[in-house]
Amino acid sequence: MIKYLSTRHLAVIASLLVMMTATAAEDFWFNDLHYVVTGNNTVALASHPDNPYAYSGEVIIPESVTGDNGATYTVTAIADSAFAGCTNVTRVVVPNSVTTIGERAFHHCLFLADVELPETVSTIGKAAFMSCLRLQDFTFPAAMTAIQDSTFNGCSKLTSLYIPNPITSIGTAAFASCWRLETVNMANSVEILGDLAFANCSALTSVTLSGNLATIGDKAFRFCSALTGITIPGSVIAIGNEAFAACDTLAAISIPASVTSLGNDIITGCPVLTAINVETGNPVYDSRENCNAIIETASNTLLFGCQATVIPNTVIAIGNRAFSECDSLTAMAIPSSVTAIGDQAFQHCTGLTDMVIPETVSHIGENVFQQCTGLVTVTLPSSLTSISKGLFDNCTSLENATIPVNVTAIHEKAFFKCSALESIELPNSLKSIGDEAFSWCTKLASINIPSSVTTIGYQAFAHCRKIYGIDIPMSVTSLGTGAFYSCSGLKSITLPASLIKVNDYAFAYCWSLTTVDIPQTIDSIGDHAFFDCWEIISFTCRATTPPAVYSADVFAFEDMSSSATLYVPMSAVEDYKTAEVWKEFPNIVGFEETFVFGDVDGDGKTTITDVTELIDLLLQGTANENPAADIDGDGKVTITDVTELIDYLLTH
């Protein structure tokens, strides 16, 4: 018996057959190459599905292939990552039917030396030939209009390039790190040169830019160390950050009148640069008086200079990083017209030996002389009220620096690692010493902290190994963590009654410290405060209640001498003998508490210094915090107490 299928059943079967045929044609192999269907009768050559690095040797791609379903397909593309990582592929021939090469298509084909592309290719994806280390030359197809990001990044055997019409843009890092590339010529169609386009092309000596180029991107030629000169066409309107930075042999540069936007650090780190010019007629920048510098006309700010710069007396500001990394700069005369010096203006000018900053300068930015390792002397203007962050950081030859009398703050790392600095005079106006301000000043042997100082920051004097003694005045209310860390020459320390805590690591690794005297106001001692101070013989703690100690590592009991003695008020001996950590001292001895009338500074005697201290406390508004300051015993501290103390000194 014959059963007939309905029309509906036949339609379903037909649909299934179509789907099965389409699925079978999704991807297939032809002559050992893998293809994927991309459209009606078109395919793209794709990576090996099981072993993406399997392709090797010479690969000749046909114009058409036959699928498993018997259909014929035209090869129009090479898919993303098709040959990526196929390190044994040596040559590829691409047929005329191909118009697109995908992203990373030949990425890291280390032995690929030759690629034949047809004129029909209009698109080559990002990083398509990145790190093809054997690729020696490349001819751009006539249909291409753009070079994508990182297309030839790291192609270290490319030696010359011609970028033809109609290419209009070169992408980010397109030819970066092509370190054998010597010559580049661009047709006039190129308008945009992307960031890092030729960065790290260390053999590049000749560049002909497009006559219609409008933009040179950030770091476009950074680290092109063989580039001695370059002509920037009059079509350019913008030059990006660090565009020519670290071009070690760049001797001259001229900025055309068309440029209205300059990025930061465009010529930073060009040590032999001696000629800088801005063409006449530029509306934004100028090189007035043949000064060999770039000046922002409206603000009279010198933006970029070199070793041959002569600063005109019409300049009122030196911009951020204006001379940064100018190693060949040995001296610079700053005219009296200048009132401000920007951040890092002379950073890493290792040849600079001395500097006189005129009295007109009222602002000096951060890290201005950082790593000026040859700088020996500097004269600062009296108008300064602060020493900025990192001002002389790593100035390892600096021997002399006078702090102006109006300075109230020395900021973080101001003299960090000034290893030749032996002494420095701090003004009576000073109120704060910042974090690591004098850290690693290994020759600093003498420093006087004035009674105006209230704050000493984190590791402010750490590793100052030649400091043998230091007086911390009563005005100091905050002593930062590790303030005197590893001051291995420090022999004795007396802390003022203005402190209530000894912070963590304050005197850790002060190996020569033998005598310590802390006031009755201290209520806690931080972690490792006196760690590895094994030479301590006499430790006086005047607090009647043992200060809180949060770690057994505060003291170096294991290495401490058996004669080391803790001196405490007689009334508190038993408390110390039972208090955690304190009880570990080899010897605990009491002393009679004595009251010295008028001893405002807590040194055990009454002198004219106590009058000065009392006046300073009144001016700072902290006098009522010191019980010894209440001379007349009326429960408050006023100018009357100063009079009483002077009378006492005159009559005793």
Q: What is the pLDDT of residue 239?
A: 98
Question: Which domain, by its residues, includes 28?
Answer: 23-144
Residues 6+ apart with CB under 8 A from 646: 611
What is the SS3 assignment for 193?
Answer: strand
User: Last residue of a domain, which of 117, 144, 171?
Assistant: 144
E runs forming strands in 47-102: 57-60, 64-66, 72-78, 89-93, 100-101
Handedness of CA 578, 583, 589, 595 (dihedral sign): negative
pLDDT for position 601: 79
Question: Is 391 inside a domain boundary?
Answer: no
Domain termination site, one of 126, 144, 162? 144
Smallest CA-to-CA distance from 463 within 480, 448, 441, 445 is with: 441
Q: 362-390 burial string, b = 16+ CB within 10 Å, else e?
A: eebbbbbbbbbbbbeebebbebbebbbbb
Tally of CB atoms within 10 A around 418 = 26
270 in any annotated domain? no
86 domain residue, yes or no: yes
Whether 131 is covered by a domain: the verdict is yes
Q: What is the pLDDT of residue 1?
A: 37
* Helix (H/G/I), strand (E/B), else coil: 276: strand
Binning the chain into helix, strand and coil, the percentages to the nearest 5 are: 10, 20, 70
Distance CA 644, CA 448 (A): 29
- Is 237 part of any domain? no
Is 81 within the bounds of a domain? yes
Question: Which residues of the chain have a pLDDT value below 50?
Answer: 1-5, 7-25
Other C-beta atoms lying within 10 Å of the C-beta of residue 640: 12
What string of H, E and C letters represents the secondary structure of 410-423? ECCCCCCCCCCCCE
Gap between the Cα atoms of 79 and 123, Å rounded: 12
Helix (H, G, I), strand (E, B) or coil at 14: helix
Cis upstream peptide for 546 (omega within 30°): no
In this structure, is residue 636 part of a structural domain?
Answer: yes
Give the three-state DSSP class for 522. Answer: coil
Q: Of 90, 114, 144, which closes a domain? A: 144
Domain count, the chain: 2
Residue 501 contacts by C-beta under 8 Å, 6 or more apart in sequence?
A: 522, 523, 524, 525, 526
Q: What's the angle, vertex CA 20, arms to CA 18 and CA 23, rounded to 5?
A: 110
Segment 160-178, tens digit of pLDDT: 999 999 999 999 999 999 9
Provide the phi-psi class of 505: left if phi over 0, else alpha when psi is between -120 and 50, else beta. left
Residue-level length of the chain:
652
- Between CA 531 and CA 541 the distance in angstroms is 17
CATH number of the domain bearing residue 59? 3.80.10.10
How far apart are the C-alpha atoms of 320 and 230, rounded to whole Å? 25
98 occurs within a structural domain: yes
Nearest 5°: phi and psi at 92?
-135, 130
pLDDT at 6 (0 to 100): 52
